[in-house]
Structure 1
Amino acid sequence: MNDQSPDSPDSPDAPRGCPVAHGSAELTRLYGPEAATDPFGIYERLRKEHGSVAPVLLEGDVNAWLVLGYRDGRRVLDNPRQFARDARIWRDWREGRVAENHPLVPMVAWRPDCVSQDGEAHRRLRGAVNDGLQAAVARGIRRHATYFANKQIDAFADKGRADLVADYAGYLPMLILARVLGLSETEGRRLVESNAMVFQGGEEAIRHDGIIREILGDLTERKRAEPGSDFTTGLLEHHAGLDHDEVVSHLRLVLMAGHSTTSNLLARVLQLILTDASRLSGLTSGQLTITALVEEVMWNSPPLSVLPGRFAVSDVELGGHRIEEGDLLVLGLAPGNLDPEIRPDPDVSVQGNESHLAFSAGPHECPGQSIGMSIIQIAVDVLLHRLPGLRLAVPAEELTSTASTWMSVLDSLPVEFAV
């Protein structure tokens, strides 16, 4: 007689990928109060307990593997045949344990965009995105960045005080990307909150994802009727023949990924400049470049801490663990960059070293790197020229951050300057 319970790890009825299949009924959550305030503490504890790959729980106690090691991260990112991007093979999704209204869906579920596909389907869609982004650069990203940087600064330049997160970094990339896509400035400002809420997760993620899709769906129909010199028109007219859903999904992809990562990276670069007098003096004297500071931030506090997601195509060993077919893996970009195997001394300078994971890697490496870098270079340069005597208005140790599963965001950056 079989006396196994349905939840026993050896029971034939036990769902694969459940907590007991990972060997523990008490898995670490990558969400909640501790994750919001001390994500790096969680990464290091997991590394000590499990090595370079660790079983974790995502929002709603959904099972996943967090890849903490740099080399294992590269193995996953570089091998789509073993670790696919197509969420339709995600076992928890196929077997109904993740509902369509689950807050993870906007970040993890399959969509008709290049990020959700591999092989020829990925090449077709990625080619359309690359062509569109190259055309945007040719039309003048730096010009748009200069215009909106000055416009944002105009709103607080005569006050002598500002919050460079809420007043500057939080909006600037979105305004530039809205112009690139063909959206109005009003629509761009409206999208900032919705974009943040999707990355934050929780009950509001699905609703705000719907707002984003509605705005971008309306934009697609406008540009179909009245084409222009913008990214949306470029997708609609591309020889790859994207349908309506594919166009909207790629607008969403470029807008969300481009804004969140660039906004967070800009805030962290400004934080570094304003909390280290040598960095600020180096920039103003020309002895230090903004590019060097960006590289440092991308190593030590990348704008996206954890990258969703990859799915095991078949059973495979990774980091000493047995990953089962259909398992979800999320890539620890932040812990991977601090992996002691590649950075035994994290205080050693990384200047000139671009092998960080901040832009992902492999076939799905971020295609908008040059655009993000141009925005940050212009944003920092204009700010330092416009605001003489720029300095932090609070002690550096009072600056705080709040993390979601996917990113750690600087809460505020209060500054003072001469008027």
Structure 2
Amino acid sequence: MTDQPTNSPDASGGCPVAHGGDGDLTRLYGPQAALDPLGIYARLRKEHGAVAPVLLEGDIPAWLVLGYRECRWVLDTPRQFSRDSRIWRDWKEGRVEATSPLIPMLGWRPDCVSQDGAPHRRLRGAVTDSLQTVAGRGIRRHVEHFANKQIDAFADAGSADLVGDYAEFLPMLVLTRLFGLPAAEGRNLAVSCAQLMKGGEDALAHNDRIMQILADLAARKRDEPGADFTTGLLGHDAGLDEDEIHNHLRLVLITAHTTTSNLLARVLQLILTDASRLAGLVSGQLQVSTVVEEVMWNTPPLAVLPGRFATNDLELGGQHVKEGDLLVLGLTAGNLDPEIRPEAGISLQGNQSHLAFSGGAHECPGQNIGQAIIEVAVDRLLHRLPGLRLAVPADELTSTASTWEARLDALPVEFTAQAATV
């Protein structure tokens, strides 16, 4: 990461150093970026305003949208900001390798998030219909089952790490049930999802591992259909082909697990670092959904949303964006935009206009599933573990950021040891 980013476009126009210039831009990846993403967002906002030029892995240029209103405009205007990366100029002109760790996050796939208009509506309809079907089939019972199993593993110890022992794996275990996968696949898939989100040289290998597991699942479900999400996609009236099936399984699995596990960890962090919130939940005077809403505003599970591609030359936030430029949306930065939140500490209770679920036609379709997982997961912990408390001072908790998210490293707790459930 450099100290003096520049805002001047290169001779070709568009994003600075878009074609290999010598610009001095801030990197959203690497050791320095992992330590203080909020500081980076604040500095970029001060130097560039609502839209800032940055570099992604491989020093690939992009515009980072920092302003709340600008994020909303991009999300709500697909004719100017497409989700179809086939128009990404750096990809079309060969500056992004097929082996780039950006490809699992930004490369085009035959899924609904890679397309707009009628193709998007067709594919998204299959996803939302299939999700609604499984969401109505006792999802809270599945969460309770796996939450109790996770808690049983450490209940008699009197201590645990609620990230590594609970939040990192619980959502994936629930998803294995919803997808019709063996629960034994859950941990391996959770690890591969985490590595894919971190990027780096192993990202593509983990993506391939996920795709192979899901291709095997789809083949099995054709012969042995069940009451699960996979079977729903296979039999949907939209008539998805094999590639579309596999890629939508991948899309929902990765998105649902990574965002829900991160959100669960952050909700638990907020509860355990504020005695009044913990007491309110235990007494029933505070709802988990209220805490979730606060986290959605302040530390959304996806910090930066990939990506949108300009369909024509335009101006955004005072910057001259060129056709084919990549834009990534700063969901955390947008939620903290001083233009809409000029005073820190103001209550946002009841205000659900945050960016955490994205927006527009591509807004997250599985919000109710994530909410159910978190509500039951928190409830089980508070009921199973009396005296639950943070085992270290709150200011010792640390996070590590990648380009796309900032994850809590650990959440060590203590409680009165309990016997496992029967």
The answer to whether the 8 Å contact 1:338/1:346 transfers is no
Bigger drift between 326-335 and 26-35 goes to 26-35
Match in the other structure for 2:318:
320
Match in the other structure for 2:244:
246
Q: Does 1:76 align with 2:74?
A: yes
Secondary structure (helix, strand or coil) at the match of 1:139 reads coil
Q: CA deviation at 1:17?
A: 3.9
Counterpart of 1:229 (choices 215, 227, 230) is 227
The answer to whether the 8 Å contact 1:101/1:206 transfers is yes
Q: Does 1:112 align with 2:107?
A: no
1:38-93 per-residue CA deviation (whole Å, 9 max, x = no partner) reads 00000000000000000000011000000000000000000111000000000000
Unaligned runs of 5+ residues in structure 2 are 1-7, 418-422
Looking at structure 1, the residues matched to 270 and 16 of structure 2 have their Cα atoms a distance apart, in angstroms, of 41
Counterpart of 1:125 (choices 102, 106, 123) is 123
Bigger drift between 161-170 and 185-194 goes to 185-194
Match in the other structure for 1:136:
134
Bigger drift between 169-178 and 280-289 goes to 280-289
The answer to whether the 8 Å contact 1:9/1:21 transfers is no
Equivalent residue letter for 2:351: N
Q: Report the number of matched residues.
A: 410
Alpha carbons of 1:359 and 1:37: their partners in 2 closer, same or farther (altered >3 Å)? Answer: same
Looking at structure 2, the residues matched to 301 and 354 of structure 1 have their Cα atoms a distance apart, in angstroms, of 14
For residues 250-261 of structure 1, the aligned pairs below 5 Å read: 250-261=248-259
For residues 9-408 of structure 1, the aligned pairs below 5 Å read: 14=12, 17-19=15-17, 25-408=23-406
1:127-184 per-residue CA deviation (whole Å, 9 max, x = no partner) reads 0000011001111111110110001001111110100000000000000011101111
Equivalent residue letter for 1:255: L
Looking at structure 2, the residues matched to 161 and 309 of structure 1 have their Cα atoms a distance apart, in angstroms, of 40
Unaligned runs of 5+ residues in structure 1 are 1-7
Deviating above 2 A after TM superposition, structure 1's stretches of 4 or more consecutive aligned residues are: 8-11, 14-18, 20-24
The answer to whether the 8 Å contact 2:131/2:229 transfers is yes
Q: CA deviation at 1:255?
A: 0.5
Equivalent residue letter for 2:108: W
The answer to whether the 8 Å contact 2:78/2:116 transfers is yes
RMSD (CA atoms): 1.5
Q: CA deviation at 1:22?
A: 11
Looking at structure 2, the residues matched to 10 and 175 of structure 1 have their Cα atoms a distance apart, in angstroms, of 48
Match in the other structure for 2:5:
none
Normalised by the length of structure 1, the TM-score is 0.96
Alpha carbons of 1:75 and 1:24: their partners in 2 closer, same or farther (altered >3 Å)? Answer: farther
Looking at structure 1, the residues matched to 9 and 16 of structure 2 have their Cα atoms a distance apart, in angstroms, of 9
Looking at structure 2, the residues matched to 207 and 250 of structure 1 have their Cα atoms a distance apart, in angstroms, of 19
The answer to whether the 8 Å contact 1:22/1:55 transfers is no
Equivalent residue letter for 2:139: I
Equivalent residue letter for 1:86: D
Equivalent residue letter for 1:204: D
- Percentage of identical aligned residues: 69
Looking at structure 2, the residues matched to 344 and 187 of structure 1 have their Cα atoms a distance apart, in angstroms, of 46
